[in-house]
Structure 1
Amino acid sequence: MITVIGFDGTPLSEGARAAVDAAELVVGTARILDEVGVPPTAKRHHLVRLDEMLDEIAPYDRVCVLASGDPGFFGIVRTLRERGLDLTVLPAASSVAAAFAAIGMSWDDAVVVSAHGRDLRPVANVCRAFPKVAVLTGPGAGARELGTALPDRTFVVAQRLGHADQRVEILSSHAAAHAEFEDPHVLLCLDESRLTSERGWLAGFQGVPGAWALGESAFAHRDSMITKSEVRALALAKLGPRPGRLVWDIGAGSGSVGVECARFGAAVVAVDHDAASGDRIRANAAAHAVAVEVVVADAPSALDSLPQPDAVFVGGGGAEVIAACADTPAETVVVALAAIERVPETISVLTKAGRTVDGVLLQSSRLSALPGDTHRFAAANPVFLLWGERR
């Protein structure tokens, strides 16, 4: 029998204490084993490597595994269940709950991600996209590294939660980038300009939006200079926006594509050379309650300083801009074109970058009213949509 016990620094419950006292083998980090107290009749195993732990517990009938907080929340319960082991789980409060409690903040609307043993890029992208994120950190993937990647955020760094020497610091992401922290720790990444007191009904990420490819009237734009909803629908399908991904919207104009990607949970950087367009993009993002980082600058010179994208939409710009986007690690580069003469050039640029190219000519006609309560279908301007994917 394997009993998995969560430990949050407080005395064990009666049931957990009895399980530890009756165990033949007790597994945990050296710190937790010392604090809990292992009876002399039981063997101690310091948890360092999971494969070693699994080999160690095999011969024993009564095993206790001690883990921080709630072991079923990004914890060891999943690993043991994947090995087909039967478990009794006695959880404690999760470290995320403890970190939010330490600053007196609710967290039903927080997104929780784990950076432990994982690539930091998607974690950083979630922190860009959402206003309240809890990060379970690991060596080389903590507050210092995320502070370097994330400007203008408030960090709450909680170390040794539940213990007598617990430390909870509130600092800027810039300050965190130049500080030292004990591993592991819990990081709360807050965009205070977007935090609300609105009561929700679904914890964490609210899922995909109820509608997409919104009508042009959903966005402020200039003289109908906006990617039309029919084009946007296919562009979104090719860009694949979702939490953990970063999308560039180049030549963004109204930012309609970028805003729609953000509504799917992606992090978005919108680039346009026009300051008035930058203001419109910010207003459209605010109107749809999403985060879009706006860069007012000429592409492609501005692109080198941006975080690397997972997908790119090019709504404006010449061959040089498309080539710069095609040379990024992005899985997909989607280009919208109005002029037929630009199609062969764009195909060539995407192909030379080592991408497999496909595309469609989108021709749509919209229902339009006529006098006498009659209707017709009015043709919209055709648009070429090309995309280049990494082989």
Structure 2
Amino acid sequence: MITVVGTGTGAPLDDALLAGADLVVGGRRHLDAVRLPDTAERVTLGPLAPALDTIAAHVDKERRVVVLASGDPGFFGIVRALAERFGPGLLDVRPGVSSVAAAFARIGLPWDDAVVVSAHGRDLRTAVNVCRARPKTAVLTGPGAGPAELGAALARTPGDRVLVVASALGEAGRERVETVTPAEAAARDWGPAVSVVLCLDPARALGAVRTVAGAAPGPAGWAPAEDAFAHRDSMITKFEVRALALARLGPRLGDLVWDVGAGSGSVAVECARLGAAVVAVEKTADGVTRVRANAAAHGVDVSVVHGSAPGALAELADDPDAVFVGGGGRELPAIVEACARRARRTVVVALAALDRAPDARRALTAAGLDCDGVLLHSSRLAPLPGDVTRLAATNPVFLLWGTRPEGAAATTARTEGVAQ
């Protein structure tokens, strides 16, 4: 039997769990904090594979093994690796309080509506984009992905987020829980004692009563009619076009999406509703106001950049997973090129003028994307006098999309040479 004990967030360790142990495995601070049996072998966790091999040798001889871990070891913890190697039936798990639960308890907030993301040994950009998209996020940190790195990334995008940095949770005299701005977090050396970082929108930190924990459920539908958004003179991506564009963009939690030439921001809002972090680029002041109003009306976060593409794109530090281009005029080829070279997955371009399609297609393929497209021409039901209905044609739109081949990398080119 392998006994897995969660420690470190305030609950005292029952010494009886260690009595008679033949092998005790844990991090250095866990082992230093307990009194081990004199006869027990001690293994300090570093690389996991050698420790699992040592555990296996003791299990084969039916010796008693105790594994010490932080908080709840079944929550982004060692229980997964042990269950995969030895089977759940061989584990006796004694969970402690997770660092996430302890951190929220320290600041007096419920966390059933929080999204929890691990940056420990993982790409920090996923955590950053979840923090941008959701009002209440807990980030499990690690070397190179701590409060400073998270704060530096979040500070690059305007927003109202604050970071709650919880360090040495449960350790008397050392525990610290500090609320800072992303910029303040980026300017500090936090050391190795950080337990978890909470990223909050203070205005929405309490949240509503929930039935399902974690990320809020996605929308019941998408591509609503144009009257769901404020727009000017019908200058909005029509719902038929939006539906296919969303299918090709594939926005999801952890993604970053650009909406370039956002106009009303209908595509930006829909991507945010589906969980993505979104940056909308719009050149007109009234358009910027309209995008912000639509985002607020739909209860989502959209970061709006007031500027003209392609020049404004060079100021966006983080490469997107997907890009929607909904405008551009004569600058369209340069805009598509700038987006295509930086997009990690796909670029979708909506064109009302068919003669611009060849240049846009060349820009996509020149950046190494596989290109496809379709001409969308729909007719909607329209009532006529006498209780009859006709079909009213909408303006045709050419939708192009470029997809990066699997395994190919984006150029990551915030180049000054892009056309201004």
Task: Please state which band the TM-score falls in when normalised by the shorter chain.
Answer: over 0.9
Give the Cα separation in 2 of the matches to 1:222 and 1:111.
36
Residue 382, structure 1, aligned to residue 396, structure 2: yes
Residue 319, structure 1, aligned to residue 328, structure 2: no
2:310 to 295, 300, 312: 300
2:180 to 171, 181, 188: 171
Cα distance, 1:41 vs structure 2: 2.1
- Indicate conservation of the 8 Å contact 1:138/1:185, yes or no: no
- The alignment's TM-score, normalised by the length of structure 2, stands at 0.90
Amino acid at match of 2:137: V
State how 1:29-108 maps to structure 2 within 5 Å. Answer: 29-60=27-58, 61-85=63-87, 86-108=90-112
Amino acid at match of 1:20: L
Amino acid at match of 1:311: A
SS of the equivalent of 1:211 reads coil
Q: What percentage of residue pairs aligned between the two structures are identical?
A: 60
Q: Which runs of 5+ in 2 are unaligned?
A: 406-420
SS of the equivalent of 1:316 reads coil
Corresponding residue number in structure 2 for 1:4: 4
SS of the equivalent of 2:300 reads coil
1:182 to 191, 202, 210: 191
1:309 to 320, 323, 337: 320
- Indicate conservation of the 8 Å contact 1:159/1:182, yes or no: no
Give the Cα separation in 2 of the matches to 1:13 and 1:167.
21
Amino acid at match of 1:181: W
Amino acid at match of 1:139: P
- The alignment's TM-score, normalised by the length of structure 1, stands at 0.97
Residues 189 and 97 from structure 1, CA distance in 2 versus in 1: closer, same or farther, beyond 3 angstroms?
Answer: same
Q: Cα deviations across residues 176-235 of structure 1 (Å, max 9, x unaligned)?
A: 001011334310011224435421221111232111011111111111110011100110
Give the Cα separation in 1 of the matches to 2:13 and 2:127.
35
SS of the equivalent of 1:268 reads strand
Count matched residues.
389
2:205 to 195, 203, 226: 195
1:205 to 208, 211, 215: 215
Q: Cα deviations across residues 44-96 of structure 1 (Å, max 9, x unaligned)?
A: 11111101111111221210000000000000001111113321100011000
- Indicate conservation of the 8 Å contact 2:109/2:206, yes or no: no
Give the Cα separation in 1 of the matches to 2:284 and 2:348.
21
Corresponding residue number in structure 2 for 1:328: 342
Give the Cα separation in 2 of the matches to 1:36 and 1:149.
38
Give the Cα separation in 2 of the matches to 1:368 and 1:296.
37
- Indicate conservation of the 8 Å contact 1:312/1:330, yes or no: no
Q: Which runs of 5+ in 1 are unaligned?
A: none
Amino acid at match of 2:254: G
Give the Cα separation in 2 of the matches to 1:34 and 1:82.
28
Give the Cα separation in 2 of the matches to 1:110 and 1:251.
32
